[in-house]
Amino acid sequence: MRAPESHLDAALPSGRLTRVHSARRLCRALALLLLAVQTLAACAKSKPASTTSKSNAKGWAVQWQPSKLVNGSPVVFEVAPPTRLTTLSAKWLEHDVSFVFDAVTRNWYGIAGVSLETHPGAYALELKGTTSRGSDISFVRKFTVSPAKYPSVAVSVAKKFTEPSPEQLEKIRQDKTVKQDVFHQTDPKREWTGKFRPPVDARISDVFGTRRTFNGKVQSMHQGLDYAVPQGTPISAANSGTVLLASPLYFEGNCVVIDHGQGLLTLYLHMSEIKVKAGDRVESGQEIGLSGGTGRATGPHLHMAVRWEGVYLNPATLLTLKLP
C-alpha cells in the first residue's frame, strides 16, 4: 500500500510535485556529501603524529628523526637534494655533520645530536653539496630545540670514587688521556647498518640526563642508560662498527667503545668480562662481553652511553630511530 502524501504534496499539481521530490533528493545528496567531507577531515586531524618530520623548499626535501628535538637528543637528517650530488656535508650547532648516500632510498643520511647544554631556541642546519658537474649548492633549514625534563637522585658509592687518593687521581688522569686519544680515532665513514638495537633485553633502571649527587657531595650528570641485569649477562653490540677501546678504566670499569662511523660511538661500562679487543670489527648483535659491577657502580648492571663528536646523547632515543 502506498504511503500517504503529506498535506503539502497533496495540495500541489503533479508537475510541481515531481520538481519538489527532485529538489529534496538533491538536498539529501548534498547533505550526505557534506557529512563525508567532515568525516574525512576529522579522521585526518585525529591521525597520530609521525616520529619523522619533513620540510621542502627550493627543491630540497629534508626529513628528521625524532620529530621533536630536545637537549640531549640524537637526530638523523635525511636529505633529498634538488639535483644529483657527489658530496654533502653540513654545519649543525658548531659541529660538522658527515652525510652518506644510500643507494636504496637515493637519499643522503647524516647523524648528529643536541647536547645537554644546548639552550631552547632555533638553530640552523647549513647544508653544502657538490653537484655532479662540480658546482657548489647550499641550503639552510632552521630547527626548534625544546627543553627536556630530567630527574635528580642521590647515590651512595665507595669513598674512593668521591675522594680519590693521589695514586687514584693519577690513574684517573691517565684514563682521561687514554679516552681523549680513543675519541679522536673516529671514522667519518658510515659503519652502522640499519636500526640500533638494545645491548641487553632488560628493564631500564636509570635514564639518561639524571642529575646525580654522590655521597651528598659530588654532583654529575648521568650520561647514559642503565640496564638492570645480573652479573654475567651477555652484552651485544648495538650496531656494526670497529672496537676502539676494550680495557679497564677507573670510573667506567671494564669498558668497550665501538665506533659506528660518522662521529658516532657507543660505550658499554662496568663489565665483568670483555670478549673483544681494540681493532676488532663487530656486527650488530655480536657478543662483546658480560655485565658486572666494576668501576664506580652501586652493583651489577650495564651502563650504555652514546657519544657523537664529543657530545653525549640519549641512547633511548637512538634506539627508536628508523634507519636504512
pLDDT in tens, 242-264: 999 999 999 999 999 999 999 99
Give yes or no: residues 215 and 122 share one domain: no
Which pLDDT score, from 0 to 100, does residue 217 have?
A: 65
Assign residue 74 the CATH number of its domain: 2.60.40.1220
- Asked if residue 4 is part of any domain, the answer here is no
| Mean pLDDT score, 148-154 | 78
Model confidence at 199: pLDDT above 90: yes
Which pLDDT score, from 0 to 100, does residue 276 have?
A: 98
pLDDT in tens, 134-144: 999 999 999 99
Number of domains within the chain: 3
Q: How far apart are CA 260 and CA 224, in angstroms?
A: 17
Give yes or no: residues 179 and 159 share one domain: yes
Which pLDDT score, from 0 to 100, does residue 222 have?
A: 83
Give yes or no: residues 285 and 183 share one domain: yes
Beta carbons within 10 angstroms of residue 287's beta carbon? 13
- Asked if residue 67 is part of any domain, the answer here is yes
Q: Are strands 136-146 and 69-70 parallel, antiparallel or unpaired?
A: parallel
Give yes or no: residues 161 and 27 share one domain: no
Q: What percentage of the chain exceeds 90 in pLDDT?
A: 63
Lowest-pLDDT range of 1-15, 149-163, 214-228: 1-15
pLDDT in tens, 95-127: 999 999 999 999 999 999 999 999 999 999 999
Model confidence at 15: pLDDT above 80: no
Model confidence at 234: pLDDT above 70: yes
Last residue of a domain, one of 99, 125, 146: 146
Give yes or no: residues 202 and 287 share one domain: yes
What DSSP string runs through 13-42? -HHHHHHHHHHHHHHHHHHHHHHHHHHHHH
**All cell numbers assigned to 298:** 652501586
| Mean pLDDT score, 262-288 | 97
Last residue of a domain, one of 146, 167, 196: 146
The mean pLDDT of the chain is 84
Torsion over CA: 220, 223, 227, 230 (sign): negative
Sequence-ordered list of residues with C-beta below 8 angstroms from that of 54, at least 6 positions apart, any chain: 61, 62, 63
Q: Which structural domain range is residue 107 located in?
A: 53-146
Which pLDDT score, from 0 to 100, does residue 55 have?
A: 63
Give yes or no: residues 42 and 105 share one domain: no
Which pLDDT score, from 0 to 100, does residue 72 have?
A: 95
Give yes or no: residues 74 and 220 share one domain: no
Q: How does residue 179 score in pLDDT terms, banded at 50, 70 and 90?
A: confident
Q: How far apart are CA 267 and CA 283, in angstroms?
A: 15
pLDDT in tens, 16-73: 334 444 545 554 555 445 444 444 444 344 333 345 666 666 789 999 999 999 999 9
Strand spans (E) along 148-221: 152-155, 204-206, 211-214, 218-221
Which pLDDT score, from 0 to 100, does residue 90 have?
A: 98
Give yes or no: residues 105 and 141 share one domain: yes
The pTM assigned to this predicted structure is 0.77
